[in-house]
Amino acid sequence: MGTAIATQESLAEQFKRSGKRARRGTFLLVLPLLAFLTLTFLLPIGNMLSRSIGDPTVAEVLPRTAAALRAWNGKGRPPFSAYSALADDLVRAEREGRIGKVATRMNFERAGMRSLIMKTARVASTFEPPYAQAFNAVDLQWSDPEVWGTLRHASATNTMGYYVSALDQTRTADGKWVPKPEEDQVYIMLFERTLWVAGLVTLLCFVLGYPLAYYIARQDDRTRNLLLILVLLPFWTSLLVRTTAWIALLQTNGIVNDGIALFGGDGARLELVHNMTGTLIAMTHILLPFMILPTYSVMLSVPPALTRAAISLGATPWTAFWRVYFPMTLPGAAAGGLLVFILALGYYITPALVGGRTGQLISNMIQFHMQTSLNWGLAAALGGILLAGVVVLYVIYARVIGLNRLRLG
């Protein structure tokens, strides 16, 4: 009896162990790709986003100043120790040739800081106590607590400063967030515009795509396959080719405008590209297949007998469509719509090429701060906000719609 129980237990144990081993084997299949993506994709993004909350530049180049300002609460005058610490740090940074870096960095925080720091650093080696007077003698801006407050925020290794700027706020010396003057607000407007464009493109894709999917789903097999291939062709064609096509079609001397002129336009050429109109048209064209394909595949699974039954029970064809067919196909349209919306939020290439000045989206601003203004912290903060939105929607997609619905044609 005792031995029987022992063997049973060991059998259960063995079973459990082999299950565990099999699970480990399964995980090992996924591991190479997981490791690869972590290294080449996930870590780089995490590393980039970490720049949004901390930029070590100022604390590294001006370590004593950073320490002295950390002890200050930001109210009133900075401590005298901060003046002498900054004088020391500036002399050393000037000698080591690192002053330009920190001056540029400070200029993102406050306009004019670059020249202030550069000119002070040049003469800092001649400073003698009392340092406060020496600084004020170079430039009276040093008597402004706001300047020191900015320096204090920027020298903190943990800063929300970039998020403050990314949300069009500014910080007073004692750390309160207040909205920037209206004429300096850019980013909130860009986020709103991006949301608005993504929403409008999704709506346009639905209005154009749903009826087409409905039409294709009702054809016989041969026609259906042919039409589907025609829908897939633009899907497979290079994005740059499609964008080029729209530029060729829509520009002021392009075919659309020529056609309008031919059929009795009043001679005025429409501005269809290099503005918001261009962005909307090209984005809708590029994202439309993402709406059609899932809608179509759900439509195929709706038995035609259902609407017939509704009609035989006295519904008008419209009621049968609206009350029976449409609700059943809505999950497909929702899957397509959510995907279109997610992809549209991060659109970069099309707005950059056909958007002109008015059709730029938030991604274009991130690229600007990455490559032109070199304000990487701000680019990271803007990217962090955008990515947070995309991730939330992606999680909703995965949980509500399911990733196995994600089909490519």
Partner 1 sequence: MAEKNESKFGWSRIEGGLTKAYAIGVMVFLIAPLLIIVPLSFNAEPYFTFTSKMLSLDPSGFSLRWYSDIVDNPQWLEAIGNSLVIAIASTFLATVLGTLAAIGLARSNMPFRDFFMALLISPLVVPIVIAAAGMYFFYSSIGLAQTHLGIIMAHTALGVPFVVITMTATLSSFDRNLIRAAGSLGADPITAFFRVTLPLVAPGMISGALFAFAASFDEVVTVLFLGGPEQRTIPRQMWSGIREQISPTILAVATLLIIFSSLLLLAVEMLRRWHTPPGAPIKR
Residues 113-132 that bind partner 1 (CB under 8 A): none
Integer angstrom CA distances of residue 409 from 188, 205, 225, 235, 291: 36, 16, 11, 9, 11
Applying CB under 8 A, among 37, 178, 300, 400 the residue interacting with partner 1 is: 37
202 counts as binding partner 1 under rule CB under 8 A: no
- Which tokens belong to 308? 């017939």
16 counts as binding partner 1 under rule CB under 8 A: no
343 counts as binding partner 1 under rule CB under 8 A: yes
Q: How far is the CB of 381 from partner 1 (least distance, A)?
A: 12
209 counts as binding partner 1 under rule CB under 8 A: yes
Applying CB under 8 A, among 68, 147, 197, 342 the residue interacting with partner 1 is: 342
DSSP class per residue in 93-111: HHHHT-HHHHHHHHHHHST
Applying CB under 8 A, among 54, 145, 199, 346 the residue interacting with partner 1 is: 346
Q: How far apart are CA 159 and CA 248, in angstroms?
A: 47
- Which tokens belong to 1? 């009896």
- Which tokens belong to 146? 């706001």
Applying CB under 8 A, among 211, 323, 373, 392 the residue interacting with partner 1 is: 211
Q: Specify the residue, 123 or 393, whose C-beta has the smaller distance to partner 1.
A: 393
191 counts as binding partner 1 under rule CB under 8 A: no
Residues 236-265 that bind partner 1 (CB under 8 A): 236-249, 251, 253-255, 258
**153, 58 Cβ separation under 8 angstroms:** no
Applying CB under 8 A, among 178, 189, 229, 309 the residue interacting with partner 1 is: 229
Applying CB under 8 A, among 43, 71, 300, 392 the residue interacting with partner 1 is: 43
Q: How far apart are CA 366 and CA 386, in angstroms?
A: 10
Interacting residues of 189 by C-beta distance below 8 A, sequence separation 6+: none
275 counts as binding partner 1 under rule CB under 8 A: no
Which one-letter amino acid corresponds to residue 178? V
Which one-letter amino acid corresponds to residue 19? G
15 counts as binding partner 1 under rule CB under 8 A: no
Q: Specify the residue, 150 or 251, whose C-beta has the smaller distance to partner 1.
A: 251
Q: In this structure, is the dihedral angle defined by the CA atoms of residues 148, 153, 157 and 161, taken in order, positive or negative?
A: negative
Residues 304-333 that bind partner 1 (CB under 8 A): 304, 307-308, 311, 316-317, 320-321, 325
Q: Specify the residue, 189 or 248, whose C-beta has the smaller distance to partner 1.
A: 248
Applying CB under 8 A, among 47, 143, 223, 301 the residue interacting with partner 1 is: 47
Q: How far is the CB of 174 from partner 1 (least distance, A)?
A: 33
List helix spans (H) across 263-403: 276-300, 304-312, 317-319, 326-345, 349-354, 362-371, 376-396
Q: Specify the residue, 5 or 268, whose C-beta has the smaller distance to partner 1.
A: 268
188 counts as binding partner 1 under rule CB under 8 A: no
Binding flags for partner 1, 352-371, as an x/- string (CB under 8 A): -x---------xx-xx--xx
- Which tokens belong to 22? 């099999």
User: Which residue, among 112, 117, 87, 88, has the nearest Cα to 100 in the 3D structure?
Assistant: 117
- Which tokens belong to 266? 């009043």
Binding flags for partner 1, 126-165, as an x/- string (CB under 8 A): ----------------------------------------
User: Which residue, among 130, 165, 135, 163, has the nearest Cα to 148 in the 3D structure?
Assistant: 135
Residues 372-401 that bind partner 1 (CB under 8 A): 376, 379-380, 383, 386-387, 390, 394-395, 398
Q: How far apart are CA 148 and CA 132, in angstroms?
A: 12
Buried b (16+ CB within 10 A) or exposed e, 382-391: bbbbbbebee
Q: Specify the residue, 123 or 232, whose C-beta has the smaller distance to partner 1.
A: 232
Q: How far apart are CA 168 and CA 365, in angstroms?
A: 14
Q: Specify the residue, 127 or 246, whose C-beta has the smaller distance to partner 1.
A: 246
Q: How far is the CB of 16 from partner 1 (least distance, A)?
A: 12
218 counts as binding partner 1 under rule CB under 8 A: yes
What torsion do the CA atoms of 110, 116, 117, 122 make, to the nearest 10 degrees? 170
3 counts as binding partner 1 under rule CB under 8 A: no
